[in-house]
Structures are given as structure tokens and as C-alpha cells.
Amino acid sequence: MRALIQRVTEASVTVDGQITGEIGPGLLVLICAMEGDTEATSTKMAAKIAKLRIFTDENDKMNLSVRDVSGSILAVSQFTLAGDASRGNRPSFATAARPEQAEPMYEHFKAALRSEGLKVEAGIFAADMKVRLLNDGPVTIWIDSADW
């Protein structure tokens, strides 16, 4: 799985003019299931994100997790994180999981985040979404399970 994580003061996702997910302080997580990912990959990614220490403590050091600050997560599926533009100018998405495999992986990821004790809002899988955010910092982190 690949995740692009942004620390936010607020974020929302809208589909067809309707807000499907909205959070205050927390993390916007753009998530992509890759070929070969399993539920174990999804569970490990959720645990990693829940424990990621990117919120500041009383000494202004990034030392707190989203759980530590009682933050929320807005999880948005985004297959374009699989984009490979190493050849030419049109990205290839061949390494992204097929939709019939990716959607259950996305649902499992959200459930795994909730099992970590987090409040999770979400977009709609495969929908044309409009995402709004106010990046805090800015802090943006890239995590790829292939690096583990």
C-alpha cells in the first residue's frame, strides 16, 4: 500500500456536491492499494499511521501521534498514487490493485484505523471526489509498504 499523509487543521471530501467526510484537526490520508497487498499489509499500514508521531508536543517537537492529540482521520482512496512516470509523460497505473481487490482493501484499512481507536471519515471508493484541506505545518509524509 502507498499512503500520502498530510497533517491538517481541517479537511473534507465532497462527492456530487455532498460532503461524505469531514474532520477537524488530524490526518488526511490518501491511500492506494497495490498489486499483491493483503489484509495484513492494510492492518500494518493502519497501525503505522495511528502511531506516526507528527504532531507537536509542549516543546514544539514532533513527538505525538494522531491518537495522542485525539485527532481524526479522513481516508480517501487514490489509485493515482501508483502512478509511474519513469517512462514518458503519461503515468502508468499498472501496479495499482484492480478495483475488485482495491475496494475491499480500502474498507479493511478504514476498519483497521477504527480498531486503533481512531475516528475515521472517508471518501467514496472510485468516485470523482473534491478534497479540501488546510495543511498544518505543512507536514506531508509518504509511506510505501514496499519499503518495509
CATH of the domain at 66: 3.50.80.10
3-state secondary structure 59-104: CCCEEECCCCCCCEEEEEECHHHHCECCCCCCCECCCECCHHHHHH
Question: What pLDDT does 56 receive?
Answer: 97
- Closest alpha carbon to 30 in 139, 127, 122: 122
pLDDT for the residue 79: 97
The residue ranges of the chain whose pLDDT is under 50 are none
93 included as an active-site residue:
no
Looking at residue 123, its pLDDT comes to: 96
Is 80 a residue of the active site? Answer: yes
Domain count, the chain: 1
Question: With a threshold of 0.85, does the pTM exceed it?
Answer: yes
78 catalytic per annotation: yes
Selecting among 79, 93, 101, 140, the annotated active-site residue is 79
Q: Residue 62: its pLDDT value, please? A: 97
Q: Cβ contacts of residue 16 below 8 Å, gap of 6+? A: 127
pLDDT at 118: 98
Q: Is 14 helix (H, G, I), strand (E, B) or coil?
A: strand
Residue 108 belongs to domain spanning = 2-86+94-147
